[in-house]
């Protein structure tokens, strides 16, 4: 499938917003057209690349007697699947936290395990654990944050769904915590392809079926 066209320079805030909206529309269409089999295969390959880096970090923290904390997501139907990643993290002794959508475009975090009760989020097609809620400080010393995105550019700029939840979270997260976006291979775009607003926050890396790349 052709890569979404890069967006050129934009002059003002309205132009940036419009350009991002157009890019999101193209990316969402491409995701809807991706077959479940292709999604599963690409997700599995991406997790293998991610685990080659993340697994030893989790093991090292566990060996030190620390319960490593890793954040990931319960994905939407069209997003890369994180099921294998979550299972590996739990098997390795990590504590897995997933986001919960809160008012005022904020995220809180909830522990996840296979038996955790979940409910559909009020304003997004995702499931969320029911019960304990933690603030962003629960991830202040996390081993990694593996987050969703519609696309990531080679300069690290991330395009989300448009709510600004992760940008607010990243603004509070210590820079020492590695952040990696999990996307499909055709969603890694050239530097400058994602127009940025002042509140947008970049990620440290992006992982696809082709590998883990630090940006």
Strand partners, 100: 108
Q: Is 121 helix (H, G, I), strand (E, B) or coil?
A: coil
Residue 189 annotated as part of some ligand binding site = no
Rg of the chain over all Cα atoms, to the nearest angstrom: 17
- For residue 201, what are the contacts with CB-CB under 8 A and spacing of at least 6? 158, 166, 167, 170, 171
Strand partners, 69: 95
Residue 156 annotated as part of some ligand binding site = no
Q: Which two tokens stand for residue 67?
A: 């319960």
Distance in angstroms (rounded) separating the CA atoms of residues 102 and 168: 12
Do 51 and 182 contact (CB within 8 A), yes or no?
A: no
Residue 175 annotated as part of some ligand binding site = no
Residue 161 annotated as part of some ligand binding site = yes
Residue 163 annotated as part of some ligand binding site = yes
Residue 205 annotated as part of some ligand binding site = no
Do 178 and 144 contact (CB within 8 A), yes or no?
A: yes
Residue 166 annotated as part of some ligand binding site = yes
Q: What Cα–Cα distance (Å) separates residue 84 from each residue in 75, 88, 115, 128, 160?
A: 12, 6, 15, 18, 23
Residue 21 annotated as part of some ligand binding site = yes
Check residue 192 and give left, alpha or beta (phi > 0: left; psi -120 to 50: alpha).
Answer: left
Residue 22 annotated as part of some ligand binding site = yes
Residue 212 annotated as part of some ligand binding site = no
**Which residues are part of a known binding site for substrate?**
74, 79
**Which residues are part of a known binding site for ATP?**
20-24, 158-166
**Which residues are part of a known binding site?**
20-24, 74, 79, 158-166
């Amino acid at each position: 499938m052709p890569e979404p066209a890069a967006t050129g320079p934009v002059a003002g805030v309205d132009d940036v917003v419009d350009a991002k909206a157009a890019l999101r529309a193209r990316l969402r269409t491409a995701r809807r057209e991706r077959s479940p089999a292709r999604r599963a295969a690409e997700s599995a390959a991406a997790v293998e690349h991610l685990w080659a880096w993340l697994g030893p970090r989790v093991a090292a923290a566990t060996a030190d007697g620390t319960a490593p904390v890793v954040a990931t997501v319960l994905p939407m139907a069209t997003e890369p699947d994180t099921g294998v990643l979550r299972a590996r993290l739990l098997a390795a002794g990590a504590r897995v936290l997933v986001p919960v959508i809160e008012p005022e475009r904020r995220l809180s975090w909830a522990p996840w395990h296979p038996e955790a009760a979940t409910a559909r989020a009020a304003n997004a097609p995702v499931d969320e654990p029911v019960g304990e809620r933690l603030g962003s400080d629960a991830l202040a010393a996390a081993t990694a944050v593996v987050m969703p995105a519609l696309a990531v550019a080679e300069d690290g700029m991330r395009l989300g769904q448009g709510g600004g939840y992760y940008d607010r979270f990243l603004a509070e997260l210590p820079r020492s915590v590695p952040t990696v976006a999990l996307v499909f291979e055709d969603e890694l775009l050239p530097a400058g392809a994602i127009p940025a607003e002042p509140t947008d926050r970049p990620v440290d890396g992006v992982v696809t079926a082709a590998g883990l790349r630090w940006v």
